[in-house]
Structure 1
Amino acid sequence: MHMPSDLDARIAELSTADVSDALDRLGLAGQCSAVHGIKSGWRVSGRAFTIRYGPVGVAGGTVGDFIDDVSPGDVVVIDNRGRTDVTVWGDLLTTTAHRNQVAGTVISGVCRDSARSLELDYPIFSCGVWMRTGKDRVCVQEIGGTVDVGGVSVDAGDHIVADNDGVVAIPASHAEAVVSVAEEIKAAEERIRQALAEGGSLREARTAVGYHTLQTAR
């Protein structure tokens, strides 16, 4: 279980755009492509609890026995190889995760029973929605290892941020640096917004804070 820290609290104040620009400046990959909220308006941050799926073997397989091991505040991060033909998340997992105060779920793949997620307001970010069960089609290959989500390697314990713009992963080993840069960028853009509110021009406001190089590698 990851105890919330000051760093976790700071990350909770950042948008995916803030984090993405910081990752760019630091030369880190973390923007997970093709994964979005199944409803707009959700905002999630937390540590990654990782699960990797693969094709089912002769003995068959299950799709959700891990859920009782996920700590409150964590984000379930599932790698189903981006498959959109079978689901690895549904009603019972959503109900359990919501009850256990899991922060949300990110899936490189699809989910089903989306009505339950909407009813409970439980955040799911996935490649889409599809009804076909993964039971006897896929099985858990590893829990707590490195997974791939939208072309990004995510380790257990990495920081996840998800909102209307998608999902980003912050490597735990670089979290302090990423957050510091993201906060700097966020503050600079807030100064631009303030200048605009006071009637200034966008060009002058951007020039004053060096806007065009905020995310440039240094």
Structure 2
Amino acid sequence: MLSSSFRKVTSVIRPIAMRSFATGPATGGEISDDLLAKLGGLSTQALVDGLWVMGWPSAQIDGARALAPGMKCVGRAVTLNFVPARPDIAQDKPPAGESPEYEAFEKCGPNEVLVMSSVGPWESVGGDIKFLRLKQLEIGGLVTDGSVRDTDEIIDYGFPCFAYSTTARQGPAAMQPWECNGVINVSGVTVRPGDAIVGDQDGVVVVPAKVAETVYSIAHGREVIEDIVKEELTKNPGPPGKFYPFMSGKIKVGSPLAELLASKGITPENSNQFEGTADW
């Protein structure tokens, strides 16, 4: 017969064991090709500002920089998680072409970005022979907080690549691919499969799929306003503090910025950037 203390312990354990955890793409948050293209038309700093305005955590992957000047990527995230090398992990991992990394590769195309979580910034996530397949798939981009090898060949392949650095090291000696399309941590930023990944010369930003439409609305509105401010300051030089910086959703009616925007046809009636008009 079970003791009362044992029954109390199991009553606590059972709900925890049965709890459902978010392990993959966000439900109801799939990003359309049209929205993906619109997000890709914005700068990474505008997207960071949009998430900041909403109060979301930092979304910039600081450990990933463009491998060559001019690279820009946009796509839905396909994720791959690496774990530190261990003999039993190597034995239990699916072999050869069934490895999680090649499973991830085959999910990629022009509208996907492969996001690879490394165990360290200087460890190699791959090089020319592996990434030849990504070229063949015309992948939208590769992002990692680790390093890549065979740099010249990867640049020649033509797809955008963002990494911590480059290296001559062999990856399998330090880590092994373990899971495709799980939720991963990349330089302290959470990435879920299906999130929008946008990269340019300033870095890489993760836009959560579930709020991507709202982030675009805020960020696009901010870019329009910043262009107007820059145009005004170019024509009438002076301290930017008269108009800038500003907080989306909190521009005060009657302020110098509001009057400037009104002269361009932007008012609380047609913009969510003013005080009391925020829709987030």
Query: Equivalent residue for 1:27?
Result: 55
More strand by percentage: 1
1:90 aligns with one of 127, 133, 147: 127
Offset of residue 48 of structure 1: 0.4
Aligned letter for 2:185? D
Unaligned runs of 5+ in 1: none
**Distance (Å, rounded) in 2 between the aligned partners of 1:193 and 1:121:** 34
| 1:36 and 2:65 aligned | yes
1:145 aligns with one of 179, 182, 186: 182
The DSSP-based 3-state class of the residue aligned with 1:187 is helix
Offset of residue 202 of structure 1: 4.4
Query: Equivalent residue for 1:200?
Result: 236
Query: Equivalent residue for 2:110?
Result: 72
**Distance (Å, rounded) in 1 between the aligned partners of 2:217 and 2:120:** 32
2:219 aligns with one of 182, 189, 192: 182
The CA deviation string for residues 79-122 of structure 1, in whole angstroms up to 9 with x for no partner, is 013331x3012102322112211111000111111111221222
Contact map agreement 1:110 1:126 (CA 8 A) in 2: yes
Contact map agreement 2:78 2:193 (CA 8 A) in 1: yes
Query: Equivalent residue for 1:50?
Result: 79
Contact map agreement 1:75 1:102 (CA 8 A) in 2: yes
Offset of residue 136 of structure 1: 4.4
Contact map agreement 2:63 2:144 (CA 8 A) in 1: no
1:212 aligns with one of 245, 265, 268: 245
Offset of residue 207 of structure 1: 3.2
Offset of residue 191 of structure 1: 0.7
Query: Equivalent residue for 2:171?
Result: 134
The DSSP-based 3-state class of the residue aligned with 1:65 is helix
Query: Equivalent residue for 2:145?
Result: 108
Q: Which moved more, 1:22-31 or 1:180-189?
A: 22-31
Contact map agreement 1:54 1:141 (CA 8 A) in 2: yes
Q: Which moved more, 1:6-15 or 1:42-51?
A: 6-15
Offset of residue 42 of structure 1: 0.6
**Distance (Å, rounded) in 1 between the aligned partners of 2:247 and 2:50:** 8
> Are the structure 2 counterparts of residues 64 and 133 from structure 1 closer, same or farther at C-alpha, using a change threshold of 3 Å?
farther
Whichever of the two has the greater Rg, that structure is 2
Offset of residue 72 of structure 1: 3.0
The DSSP-based 3-state class of the residue aligned with 2:38 is helix
Contact map agreement 1:94 1:117 (CA 8 A) in 2: yes
Q: Which moved more, 1:180-189 or 1:92-101?
A: 92-101
Unaligned runs of 5+ in 2: 1-29, 94-98, 251-277
| TM-score (ref. length: structure 2) | 0.69
| TM-score (ref. length: structure 1) | 0.88
Aligned letter for 1:98? K
The DSSP-based 3-state class of the residue aligned with 2:111 is coil
> Are the structure 2 counterparts of residues 56 and 216 from structure 1 closer, same or farther at C-alpha, using a change threshold of 3 Å?
farther
RMSD over equivalenced CA pairs, Å: 2.3
